[in-house]
Structure 1
Amino acid sequence: MRTRLSLYNTGSAMLLQIINMIINLILPRVIALEYGSVANGLVNSIRQFVQYFSVVEGGLAFAAVYALYKPLADKDQDRINRILSGANRLYNYSGLIFSGLVLLGTFVYPVFVHEEGISPLAMGMLVLIIGSQGALEFFAIGKYKALFTADQKSYVISLINAMGVTLNSVIIIVLARLHLDIVLVWLFSMASYIIRTLAYILYARLHYKELNFKAEPDFRALDKRWDSLILQILGAVTIGTPVLVTSFMCGLAESSVYVVYNMVFASVLAILSTFNNGLSAIFGDMLVKNETEVFQRAYRQYEYLYYALMGWAYACAAILIMPFIRVYTRDMTDVNYIRPEIGLLFVLYGLLYNAKTPQGMLVISAGLYRETKYQTLAQAIINIVVSVALAPGLGIAGVLLGSVVSNLYRTIDLVIFIPRVLTRLPVMMTVRRLVRMFALLVLSIWPPLQYLHMMEKSPDGYLGWLLWAIPTGLWCLFVFALGNVIMERRTAQDILLRVRWMFTQRRKA
């Protein structure tokens, strides 16, 4: 059953991420061409600015999901209702705080960001509109997402979100092509968020008929919310620092450059996130049921596959990033987007950011928020200090170096912490896998970059780039598949047996 749910969650997440990847490729280009690179940088920096405020929702979500694991496993409907009732009240309180922060940001943001051609009023209105979209997460959606996630139904969230982002993007693209004012474009895009909210409510009423949000609230079950909130705040600081430091210290045009490169690596992250979708709840279910051996075996196989997939994805990105940027920005001439050093720094940043994902997921599964908050605080401080110190002299490269250093620290910390506290597996197992991944990555990218000079090539359009991408992907797949099977054959055999068993069960069903 867990394997089947994992397949549902992974398949739907893959659909969502493919849609997101396509949209993330189209939208920044449409905005940059219709309104300019400065407007593109503005919209994305405001999104990041508002994202800081929305971390309150994330803290509640993690705590609610963790609290729901056991009552869902026990089918204790009364406890489920009491936890969700408490979560609902806290979401409403947090929504009021979020709305107040957005209103404050409406007046504060234009004070710190000045660009010709964009009025302070337009900036403030965009903060208000984008913030209003986020407010729906608190007042209507959050409690349902927590329930679906804890019940191992992440596929529902993925499918509803896929519908929502598609509709949102269609509205923005059509109105932008009609040359409507950018503020009005984002105002009308609110319709997609309202429809998405109604979809969550309808699904919950059809499939969870015994839900009662007016039950006596159980706030004690949500006692981890403050620790998870702190973790979310610090995580948002770490992720959001590059865009905001670039916007405030380097300008919105440079922020647009960052956004374009980040768009590519967000697509890589989306591929990796697809692999992880729903696994946090599955591992959490194993932990509350004390299935230690099952948990350890599943985690060993998951980590093995994840690092292989991650290495392959970033090897392809390192080879193909600059040819893609040359095609993508061919008509965007108001800013210099061709910067190979930025592309390689993004690869390094992405590798270190994702290297700690398996361990970070277990922090959520086991509810280890309090135990990890000081390490996360240290990561955020390192990121801010290094980025702010290097940005004036090195620009975007300095900002990325701050992210590289902070994620290197956090990866080392979690690789040591999780085996000692939770998995009880050898630390060297993970270290060997990481070393192997980096070695295979260098082996796969060295020939194309050194002898084919891929960084300097410019394909003839997207089809030409795709014709380069296919053999590149196959070459990197060959290197990583062969290297991982040869160097860790036993785990590869265990995974193959699991896949065979899964298909056998499906045929019987």
Structure 2
Amino acid sequence: MRTKKSAINIITAFISQFVLILLGFVSRKVMIDSIGVEYLGINGLMSNILTILSLAESGIGTAMVYALYKPLAKKDIPKIKGLMNFYKNTYRTLAVLTALVGLSILPFLKYLMKDNTVENSITIYLLFLFSSVCSYLYSYKISMNNADQNKYLSTIFNTVTQILVLILKVLILYLTKNYILFLSIDIASTLIKNFIFSKMMDKRYPYLREKVTEKLDKETKDSLYTNIKALFIGKIGYIISVSSDNLVISSRISIKTVGLYSNYTTITSAVSGFVGIFISSISASIGNLLAEESKEKVYDIYKTTEFINFWLYFFSSICIFCLAETFISLWIGEQFIMGEGVVLLIVLNFFISGIMAPIDSVKCAAGLYKPDRYVTIIASIVNFIISMVLAKPLGISGVFIGTLVSTLLFSFWIKPVIVYKHIFKRGILEYFKRILFQTSITFIMGAICLFIGESLFFEHTILNLLCKLALCIIIPNIIFISIYFKTDEFKYVYNVIVLLIKKFKNRNCGTLIDIKDSSC
């Protein structure tokens, strides 16, 4: 059952991601043509400010999912009801706090938008704030759904509603060129769909509507508060680090540059959305695995997960590096290209954060939040200082260098050390040797593909884009398979694919998590 849910989550998430990404690119194209790139900059900046405001929620959602793993596995309904009641009240309090803090930022907003020419910036910010506050009202039910390994339900529901809303928003923007109306539709649709999904969850878990008669025991509360505190401290640094790039760019360079950069983040977010589906869709299964199985089996599954994750980021990083400029040119125009040096730094940050995903997933699923809770704060401070110093002489490249350096100095090596020490009980040297080799072959292959592609297909045409894509598919994957085809991980993945095919034919075989125990 654990594995069946992982497979369903992955399949539905892939379909959803493809449709939403396609509509997202169309929406962005219409936005640029209708209201200009400055609005993209405002959109990116406001999103980052609200991400920082979400610090209030940081830790609660993750701690909630972790705390629900065992009660859901054991069908301990009184415990589940007590936890859900706690989270409901907590999220309502956070909604009020977020609104108050968000309003207090209003007087300082103008200092964050250098060379801003967009009218109604305050109104736009208030709409973003209102949307953020409303998102807290039903978050706890969505988290429970995901903790029960039913993420596919919210994925299907979100996909259907977002398709309808995106089509409506694009039409409104194209016909009226009114960004305020565009945002208003987004907020209204979010409220409606969250309310509907909440009712669906009440029907699926009818005991959620029952009165809570048992309070959480002291041990559970103490564990929750400890995890929430550790996660909150850790998330402060992470969120500031992620969000500070746009803040530095908008305040030190220009709000328009944020808009230009956001086109590239649209691409990397789309790609990471696809490759990240694998990790996010099995994260609940990993938590369930940690709750029920041995450390040896967890490590066994982790190594396979890491291998598949690397393969995905290996291929996607090369594609972004070699295809981004041609794609941007064909999609929205050559004037939006930022240069190969900027693309290289974007891809470096994308690849490094991507290959760390399996470690992050195991660490969170194990509830191991406390050991590195201060590391991300230090890293974010280093990131901010380096970015601010280098932004003037190096422009946007200096901001990306700050992010890259802070990641390599802290999270890149500290998180794996913690996981290997506390969960796997193994030495870490093998891990870093593996990561070094993976990084080396990725960028060697990337350089080769870029050189061949730019030499043979240098013009920005659709045909050349397809030729470059074929190049990126064939050469790196042939090299990859020739290097890894004898490894246990590759053989394991091959067997999984074969058994998955049999599963869909026979409807009685296991998949990823349980595959080694399968009798098929």
| TM bracket (short chain) | over 0.9
Structure 1 residue 226 displacement after superposition: 2.0
CA contact (8 A) 1:238 1:379 kept: yes
Greater CA drift, 420-429 or 318-327: 420-429
* 1:64-83 equivalence runs, <5 A: 64-83=64-83
Of residues 264, 281, 284, the one that matches 1:281 is 284
Count residues in correspondence.
500
The alignment partner of 1:372 has SS state of coil
Partner of 2:25: 25
Partner of 2:419: 418
The alignment partner of 1:210 has SS state of helix
Cα offsets for 1:271-312 (capped at 9, x unmatched): 221111232211111222243222121111111111122111
Of residues 121, 128, 131, the one that matches 2:129 is 131
Cα offsets for 1:125-153 (capped at 9, x unmatched): 111111222222211x2111220121111
1:187 aligns with 2:190: no
* AA at the equivalent of 1:314: S
The alignment partner of 2:373 has SS state of helix
Cα gap change, 1:83/1:260 in structure 2, threshold over 3 Å: closer, same or farther? same
Partner of 2:488: 490
Partner of 1:428: 429
1:197 aligns with 2:200: no
Cα gap change, 1:357/1:116 in structure 2, threshold over 3 Å: closer, same or farther? closer
Cα offsets for 1:145-186 (capped at 9, x unmatched): 220121111112222222343233223211111134222221
**Structure 2 residue ranges without an equivalent (≥5):** 509-520
Structure 1 residue 501 displacement after superposition: 4.3
Partner of 1:316: 319
Partner of 2:157: 160
What is the CA RMSD across the aligned residues, in angstroms?
A: 2.2
Distance 2:474 2:127 in 1: 44
Greater CA drift, 101-110 or 248-257: 101-110
Cα gap change, 1:376/1:112 in structure 2, threshold over 3 Å: closer, same or farther? closer
* 1:88-127 equivalence runs, <5 A: 88-115=88-115, 117-119=117-119, 122-127=120-125
Structure 1 residue 348 displacement after superposition: 0.9
Cα gap change, 1:426/1:302 in structure 2, threshold over 3 Å: closer, same or farther? farther
CA contact (8 A) 1:327 1:458 kept: no
Structure 1 residue 442 displacement after superposition: 3.1
Of residues 237, 242, 246, the one that matches 1:243 is 246
1:405 aligns with 2:402: no
Distance 1:270 1:113 in 2: 29
Distance 1:460 1:51 in 2: 37
Distance 1:42 1:322 in 2: 23
* AA at the equivalent of 1:277: S
The alignment partner of 1:178 has SS state of helix
The alignment partner of 2:206 has SS state of coil
CA contact (8 A) 2:114 2:251 kept: no
* AA at the equivalent of 1:341: G
Distance 2:174 2:117 in 1: 19
Partner of 1:442: 443
* AA at the equivalent of 1:440: I
1:296 aligns with 2:299: yes
Structure 1 residue 102 displacement after superposition: 2.4
* TM-score normalised by the chain length of structure 2: 0.90
* AA at the equivalent of 1:360: D
The alignment partner of 2:57 has SS state of helix
CA contact (8 A) 2:236 2:376 kept: no
* TM-score normalised by the chain length of structure 1: 0.92
Cα offsets for 1:217-269 (capped at 9, x unmatched): 53445222222222223221111111111111111111111111111111221
Structure 1 residue 464 displacement after superposition: 5.0
CA contact (8 A) 1:2 1:282 kept: yes
Partner of 1:367: 367
Greater CA drift, 465-474 or 384-393: 465-474
Of residues 161, 171, 175, the one that matches 1:174 is 171
* Percent of pairs with identical residues: 19
Distance 2:308 2:261 in 1: 30
Cα gap change, 1:388/1:217 in structure 2, threshold over 3 Å: closer, same or farther? farther
* AA at the equivalent of 1:97: L
* AA at the equivalent of 2:130: S
Partner of 2:328: 325
Cα gap change, 1:165/1:101 in structure 2, threshold over 3 Å: closer, same or farther? farther
* 1:4-19 equivalence runs, <5 A: 4-19=4-19
Distance 1:58 1:158 in 2: 22
